[in-house]
Amino acid sequence: MTKAIDEVRRFLKKDDLPGAVRSLRPHAETASIAELAKATRALADAAGFKDLAGAAKAAAKRPGEPQALYDFGYACVERGIAFLAVAPLREGLRLLPDSRALLAELVSALEDENRHAEVVDLLSGRGPGLPAWPETYLLVHHTLLAGDLDTAARIGGALPAPDDPQWSGAHTRQTLRLHRTGQARRAQSATGHADPLGRTDLRGWHYGLTGGLLGTLSGYGWDAGMTGRFAYLGDTHETCRRGLARLALALEAAGRRPGTVSTLPGRSDRILGLAAAQVLGLPAVPYEPTRTDTLVVAYDLNATDPDLLRTLHARADGQILSEHATCWTDPPAVSADFSTLLCQFVAPPWKDDERPEEEIAQDVARAAAGPDGGDGATPPDPDEAFRAFVTAVRDGWLTSPRDRVASPGPVPSSRFA
């Protein structure tokens, strides 16, 4: 671990705090707790995180004390470095195996790292006496995110309603997700998908977990680990136009005809909203939270003002939220009803274009809407298959809250560190 501490210090001397954090990841579960805590304290001091620095200092001095380990792990999770919390929390639980607080925080740390299968092993290994709330609920939640729909449905079907009202919302969300994932698997099976709700069914899982429709799949890097997602996307007018074509197809297949297109105030949102209005033949109006029977168009919801974004969580009657580029590594606070594509980073095609928004929107509306040929390794995604999927799930679409889903779910994709 001495080498790791030296690496941390080397990065910190260059004022490269992110690099220092990354340098610890290979050692996070192999180093001694004391050495890990010392290295983490150096990070915390550099970042000005007094709470984390204090907790790390205490854990370095008392690595065999469960409370110190809990406080250290908790501070790591709160500061967004959950991978450093796993080892101390696991050690604390070994020392105090009946602690529900340590168990819950370890589950939280693993969840932040999308290590859902490990959570399943951890919770199922507790035996038949696992409490219903929240432990069995969490077991169902992570079993689903790990990709085992049948087991999640079996355990979830027997889960009683919570006595504590604080868990009522979670129970409702879980019930809806189990219903949607089952609906998505039946829909994909009916359309002849090669792997319904399997490790390559990105559209099916996206609908099951978020309630939203995924319009297109990336035509690049399928066999290099992307499985339909983008890492970095240099966007084009044609990609935007293709997304609007799929949006129009989704509305038609679902029997939805909004009366207006509502444009959000961001420049990219307005450009895409004006283009959508032209493509769909609808009037464009400024966004108002209470406006009914309208299509709200966003380019990237992570770029939307947080206060405005909160108004989109509760769906007005007949309101449909469409997002072009949905970030799958850091999903927005609100899940869109329709997403053109999933990416990690996106560069809008008009980022250096200073022309009026209306002119750029016309270019988008006039762009070719045909599919991108991709690299030739991606399975086909014809309009007919997308239409059939939307038709099959139309009764469940637009019926669930737009809750944020932090996990990418069971379909893996390569990402930038």
Q: What is the pLDDT of residue 352?
A: 94
The ranges assigned to domains in the chain are 2-113, 194-393
Encoded tokens for 221: 């890097």
Q: pLDDT digit of tens for each residue in the chain (417 aa)?
A: 567 778 888 999 999 999 999 999 999 999 999 999 999 999 999 999 999 999 999 999 999 999 999 999 999 999 999 999 999 999 999 999 999 999 999 999 999 999 999 999 999 999 889 999 999 999 999 999 999 999 999 999 999 999 999 999 999 999 999 999 999 999 999 988 999 999 999 999 999 999 999 999 999 999 889 999 999 999 999 999 999 999 999 999 999 999 999 999 999 999 999 999 999 999 999 999 999 999 999 999 999 999 999 999 999 999 999 999 999 999 999 999 999 999 999 999 999 999 999 999 999 999 999 888 899 888 999 999 999 999 999 999 999 899 999 999 999 999 987
Q: Could you give the C-alpha distances from 51 to 17, 24, 358, in angstroms and in order?
A: 17, 19, 50
Q: What is the pLDDT of residue 154?
A: 97
Out of 3.60.15, 3.30.70, 3.30.420, 3.40.50, which CATH number does the structure's domain 194-393 have? Answer: 3.40.50
Return d(Cα 364, Cα 271) in angstroms, integer. Answer: 9
pLDDT digits (tens, 9 = 90+) for 120-174: 999 999 988 999 999 999 999 999 999 999 999 999 999 999 999 999 999 999 9
Q: What is the pLDDT of residue 8?
A: 87
Encoded tokens for 14: 């260059």
Q: Which long-range contacts (CB under 8 A, 24 or more apart) does 362-365 make?
A: 362/275, 362/278, 363/237, 364/237, 364/240, 364/241, 364/244, 364/271, 364/272, 364/275, 365/241, 365/244, 365/275, 365/278, 365/279
pLDDT digits (tens, 9 = 90+) for 339-396: 999 999 999 999 999 999 999 999 999 999 988 889 988 899 999 999 999 999 999 9
- Nearest CA to 233 among 114, 339, 338, 308? 339
Out of 1.10.20, 2.120.10, 2.30.30, 1.25.40, which CATH number does the structure's domain 2-113 have? Answer: 1.25.40
